[in-house]
Structure 1
Amino acid sequence: MIVNRSIGSEQPDEYDELEQHLAQKLNAPLDWPEDSGLTVSHVARIAAAASCDTAYSQAANGHLIDLFAALPLPGTTEGKGFWERIRDAGGSGAWNIHPANMGGPFFDRIHDGNEGGIASRVLSFLEELTPSQRTDVAETIGSALDGGAIGVSGRYGGELWLRDAEMSAWRVALAGRREFETSEDRERFFEAWRRA
C-alpha cells in the first residue's frame, strides 16, 4: 500500500484511539502482559495495519456482494423479470452484470482470490451506460429495493445503489495495484511529496 494509514499517536508516550479502545474493552493495561513480546498496544497496531490492508479489497468486495444481495435473486420469478428489465434499461453494457453472463460460481470466486472480477464487471457496466440508460437503470433498481428495510427506494434509491457500487468497485480496482508495489515505490511516493 502506497500510503501507510495509521491512527497511531504522534507522541510515543501517548496511546492512540484504538489502543485506548482495546484497553477499555479488554479491561487490560496497555503494556499487559508485562515483560511479554506481544502487548495490547502491539495488538492495536496489528489490527490497524490489518484493517488498512483489507479495507480496500475484501471489505469492498463484501460490500459489492451486499449490494447485489439487495436485488431480486436470479432464478426467482421476481428476479427473472428484474434482470430482464436491467438488460433492457442498460443495453449491451448490462451483460457485464446480468446473471446469464455472470452467474454460476462467479461470486464464489472472491473466496478463491479473484477479488477484481466482480469489480471490473461493475465498472465496465457503469462505464458503458449513457446518461439516459443510467437513469433508467436507477429507476429499475430503485423499484426493486425494499424501501421499508433499506429506507429508500425509487429512482433515488437506485441512484444510491449505483453510486455505492461504483465506489466499492473502484476501491477494489485501486487496491489491486498494491500487488505490484514495493517498499521502494512507497519511499519514492513519500519522498516526492516531501520535496513538493
Structure 2
Amino acid sequence: MLPEVRPHVSAPLTDQLELQLGLAPDLEASHLDVERVAGIAVVAAAHSGGYAAIGHLLGLLAALPAPTEAGERFWLELWRSSGTAYLLPANIKAEVLQSLTGEGTALARQILSAVDEMTPPQRVAAGEVIGQALAESDHLPDLKTQVIGELWLRDLELTAWRVLHADGRSDDPAGRKAFLEAWTSV
C-alpha cells in the first residue's frame, strides 16, 4: 500500500535534486542525459525510505480487521489487552487519512506512544490478540499466534521509527554539518 504522491511529499526530493545534482525544478526531461537520469535514480532511492515506510505502516494496519461492526470485537480486545486506546480506529483515523496523503509522522508518533505506554505483559497480551487475528485472516504457516503478533508489533514499532527518522524536516544539510562538528569535537 502506497500513499498518494503530492507536492509536499515530492518537494524535499526536488530540493535534494537541486542541491545534489544542480537540477533546476523546471528542467524538462528532454534535457536529461543518462548520467543525470542515473543521478536522479540514486538521489530518489536514498530519499524514498520515508515514503516506503509510510506505505509499509499503512499495509501493517490494513492487515488487521477492518474497523467495522465485524471487527469491533478485535478492536475491543486489543484495547483491553494493550491497556491503551491510542491504537483504536477512532483515535488514529485522522492520522491514517493524513498518511494516505504521504504525511505519516503524526501516525508514527501515535503508534510509538501506544507501544511506549504498554507494559511488557500488556505487549504480550496485545501480541496474542493481534496474532490470532492475523492467523485467522492470512492463513500463516504453523507459527504460534503470540509469535505472529509480536513480530507484527515489532515491525509496526520499527516502521514508525523509520517514518520519523526519515522525515524530511530532519534532513537539513546545515543542521547535519553542525551536528557532525559538535559530535567530532567531543
- Between the aligned residues of both structures, percent identity stands at 37
Measure, in 2, the Cα distance between the counterparts of 1:52 and 1:69.
26
Q: Which residue of 2 aligns with 1:73?
A: 66
Residue 145 of structure 1 contacts residue 153 of structure 1 at CA under 8 Å; is this kept in 2? no
Residue 58 of structure 2 contacts residue 99 of structure 2 at CA under 8 Å; is this kept in 1? no
Residue 111 of structure 2 contacts residue 157 of structure 2 at CA under 8 Å; is this kept in 1? yes
Q: CA RMSD in A?
A: 2.7
Whether 1:132 aligns to 2:121 is: yes
Measure, in 2, the Cα distance between the counterparts of 1:185 and 1:89.
41
Cα offset, 1:106, TM superposition: 3.7
Cα offset, 1:102, TM superposition: 2.3
What secondary structure does 2:166 align onto? helix
Whether 1:154 aligns to 2:145 is: yes
Q: Which residue of 1 aligns with 2:26?
A: none
Measure, in 2, the Cα distance between the counterparts of 1:60 and 1:180.
16
Whether 1:175 aligns to 2:166 is: yes
Name the CA shift for 1:37/1:191 in 2 (closer, same or farther; >3 Å).
Answer: farther
Which one of 54, 65, 72 corresponds to residue 61 of structure 1?
54
Aligned residues: 157
Measure, in 2, the Cα distance between the counterparts of 1:60 and 1:186.
22
Measure, in 1, the Cα distance between the counterparts of 2:40 and 2:103.
25
What secondary structure does 1:133 align onto? helix
- For normalisation by structure 1, the TM-score amounts to 0.69
Amino acid at match of 1:80: E
Structure showing greater Rg: 1
Amino acid at match of 2:103: N
Q: Which residue of 1 aligns with 2:79?
A: 87
Q: Which residue of 2 aligns with 1:16?
A: none
Cα offset, 1:193, TM superposition: 6.7
Amino acid at match of 1:133: Q
Of the two structures, which has the highest relative contact order with CA contacts closer than 8 Å and spacing of 6 or more? 2
Cα offset, 1:76, TM superposition: 3.9
Name the CA shift for 1:180/1:68 in 2 (closer, same or farther; >3 Å).
Answer: closer
* Bigger mean CA offset, 142-151 vs 123-132: 142-151
Cα offset, 1:69, TM superposition: 1.0
Deviations 1:146-185 (Å, cap 9, x if unpaired)?
Answer: 4755444500010100000000000111223x41553222
Which one of 39, 42, 48 corresponds to residue 45 of structure 1?
39
